[in-house]
A and B are shown apart, each in its own frame.
Chain A
Amino acid sequence: MSEATMLTKDMNLLSQHAKDMRREILKMLTESGSGHTGGSLSAADILTALFFYKMRHRPDDPSWRERDRFVLSKGHAAPLLYAALALSGYIDRGLLKTLRSIDSPLQGHPSSKMLKGVEVSTGSLGQGLSISNGIALGLRMDGIPSRVYCLLGDGELQEGQVWEAAMSAAHYGLDNLCAIVDNNGLQIDGFCCDVMSIEPVTEKWKGFGWNVIDIDGHNMGAITSALDDAEKAKGRPTVIVARTVKGKGVSFFEGRAEYHGLAPTREELERALKELR
């Protein structure tokens, strides 16, 4: 798919893409029998907006120098990234069913050496923002107008390196960088506020010198507007704190911590696909 034909401002079409993405996520997870369901579904609307509305990218030319970059810092949402790569044409949809199998490039957590379209390997939490900073610095040095998008989990904000990176992005005034927090409120052991509270999230980022946009992470209009607004902020990086629901789109997965790392059963998949028609 070329850049021109792929991007759209049609909110209905974007919502259809998001549904499609959720269906692919559930199908590949059921096929593999393991993987991270909840945190893939919670950020499906965000990735739809990035891949089909905002990012300038060329699926047929993944190393295009002027592409916008996407770094999946919450690497366990690999099924979401793979679905986005398949739906936008980087990889064949048929490949998705090989997720996590021994001869598949679709590793449990994304590997840039095995799959085109993956900017950098991630999976160990807390490292993606530093990498994004480096990319943003390099692009700025070369006068390349591309933007860098980095998706973080809210539980991930418990990693100290995130705040080292938050400090340096603001210090270097990286306004070509936009971090997005998939703020779904849950982590493996339960609610973030019970395990290790990261609140107040928006104040933390503000305190580190960031431009902060707080939105409903499932409202396509809000997401696309936030991405547009982020581009207008000059002299400092922007973070979009996207309030999301873990497992969003499938009623019986929503808000349940146990589906952080569980794949759907065949029966659950059938019920889920009915909800996502």
Chain B
Amino acid sequence: MGERIQDKGQKSPGAGKAVATRDAYGEALLSLGKKRDDVVVLDADLSGSTKTIKFAKAFPGRFFNLGIAEQDMIGTAGGLALTGKLPFASTFAIFETGRAWEQVRQTICYSNLNVKLVSTHAGITVGEDGASHQALEDIALMRVLPNMTVIVPADGRETEQVINTIAEFPGPVYVRLGRAKVPVVVPEDYLFRIGMAHTFHVGRDANIIATGIMVSHALDARKMLESDGLDVGVINVSTIKPLDEAALLGAAEASGLIVTAEEHSIIGGLGSAVCEFLSEKRPVTIKRIGVKDTFGRSGKPDDLMKLYGLTAEEIVKTVKTSL
């Protein structure tokens, strides 16, 4: 866990405490379980890491550990949904979206079952465990599935709202969470809605469209560029599917340069989604920041973010060289 990531939220005025989105999930799930007795939770031997253990301890009769068998977990979640339960199925992102992809496609999405897939340990901030455990393809894998909604919360505050919101929303949803602590970036009065991006500011020179942990880096980049006299906007696209097309159009109309930023492969994720949409509706110059078609590696989260160019400095450099 890198110190800079941890400290940043505490330094930001008005920001809440930096927490990992997986921790916010554990808390949100616990309170949701208190409110609704149809909520059931499934895990594949990682409940301590995904934080579903909090729910498991409070509601043992509504928690099902399927062991190290992700495909079976997805099918079982589907069956529970068929009896009217509201299943949340959690494990690491790479296993839930990768190993069990076809089960998600066939069982969950094709039958349009009300199953919430909430994965943790997405992206390179998994850190020391290395490439095998760092999902850099999960957004792409889930985004391509019909009936699937894809959400990447930027911080703990947004995560809590996302969990409560999707509980009321019928149909398959994928939520991508991380291992490392992230500063709180969404405002205190923020209201998450599926398919609605949050625009911090619309810039005249460039606009950064970011998701997840990169929203914080985008906000830092905006400040740095401001001191150079550039007016750069930041939009938090937490719902990657369906995209907030109006927000994207607004950004593209305001400036001729869009920079996307995500802790994911530049292939198939947020950057691709933005390119797909804007190239048809309002072509502008788009630069994608993300992991450049490569696997991750072991290291401290902050060091890895620097190594793979997922920093405010990289965003600043990209904006300046593209203007």
- By a beta-carbon cutoff of 8 Å, the part of chain A in contact with chain B is 69, 111-113, 119-124, 126-139, 141-142, 144, 160-161, 164-165, 167-168, 171-172
Chain B residues with CB under 8 A of A121: 106-107, 110-111
Chain A residues with CB under 8 A of B102: 124
Interface of B is mostly: helix
Contact B79 A132 (CB under 8 A): yes
- B64-89: CB near A (< 8 Å → 1, else 0) gives 10110101111111111111110100
CB distance from A129 to the nearest CB of B (A): 8
B112 at the interface (CB under 8 A from A): yes
CB distance from B191 to the nearest CB of A (A): 32
With A111-B110, A124-B106, A161-B103: A134-B69 Cβ-Cβ less than 8 Å: no
Contact A120 B76 (CB under 8 A): no
B61 at the interface (CB under 8 A from A): yes
Chain B residues with CB under 8 A of A120: 78-79, 82, 107, 111, 113
CB distance from B195 to the nearest CB of A (A): 22
Q: Complex formed: what's the CA distance from A100 to B36 in Å?
A: 42
CB distance from B198 to the nearest CB of A (A): 33
Contact B80 A134 (CB under 8 A): yes
Contact A113 B75 (CB under 8 A): no
Q: Complex formed: what's the CA distance from A172 to B64 in Å?
A: 9
Chain A residues with CB under 8 A of B72: 130, 133, 161, 164-165, 167-168
Q: Which residue of A lies closest to B73 (CB)?
A: A130
Chain A residues with CB under 8 A of B71: 126-127, 130, 160-161, 164
Contact A138 B106 (CB under 8 A): no
Q: Complex formed: what's the CA distance from A164 to B74 in Å?
A: 11
- By a beta-carbon cutoff of 8 Å, the part of chain B in contact with chain A is 40, 61-62, 64, 66-67, 69, 71-85, 87, 102-103, 106-107, 110-113
Contact B75 A142 (CB under 8 A): no
Q: Choose among A113, A123, A129, A131 the residue that contacts B82 (Cβ–Cβ < 8 A).
A: A131
What are 17 A-B pairs with beta-carbon distances under 8 A?
A113-B111, A121-B106, A130-B75, A130-B107, A134-B75, A134-B82, A134-B87, A137-B79, A138-B80, A138-B85, A141-B85, A160-B71, A161-B71, A164-B71, A165-B76, A167-B72, A172-B64
Given A112-B111, A120-B113, A131-B79, 13 other A-B residues pairs in contact with their CB atoms under 8 A:
A127-B71, A127-B103, A130-B79, A131-B78, A134-B82, A135-B83, A137-B76, A137-B80, A141-B62, A142-B84, A161-B72, A164-B72, A168-B72
Q: Which of B40, B61, B76, B79 has its CB near the most chain A CB atoms (within 10 A)?
A: B79
Contact B79 A135 (CB under 8 A): yes
Q: Complex formed: what's the CA distance from A135 to B102 in Å?
A: 20
Chain B residues with CB under 8 A of A144: 83
Which 8 A/B pairs are nearest by Cβ-Cβ distance? A134-B79, A130-B75, A138-B83, A164-B72, A164-B69, A134-B76, A135-B79, A131-B79
Q: Which of B76, B78, B82, B87 has its CB near the most chain A CB atoms (within 10 A)?
A: B76
Contact B64 A131 (CB under 8 A): no
Q: Complex formed: what's the CA distance from A142 to B37 in Å?
A: 11
Q: Which of A124, A139, A164 has its CB near the most chain B CB atoms (within 10 A)?
A: A164
Contact B74 A130 (CB under 8 A): yes
With A120-B111, A168-B69: A131-B85 Cβ-Cβ less than 8 Å: no
Chain B residues with CB under 8 A of A113: 110-112
Contact B85 A168 (CB under 8 A): no
Chain B residues with CB under 8 A of A134: 75-83, 87
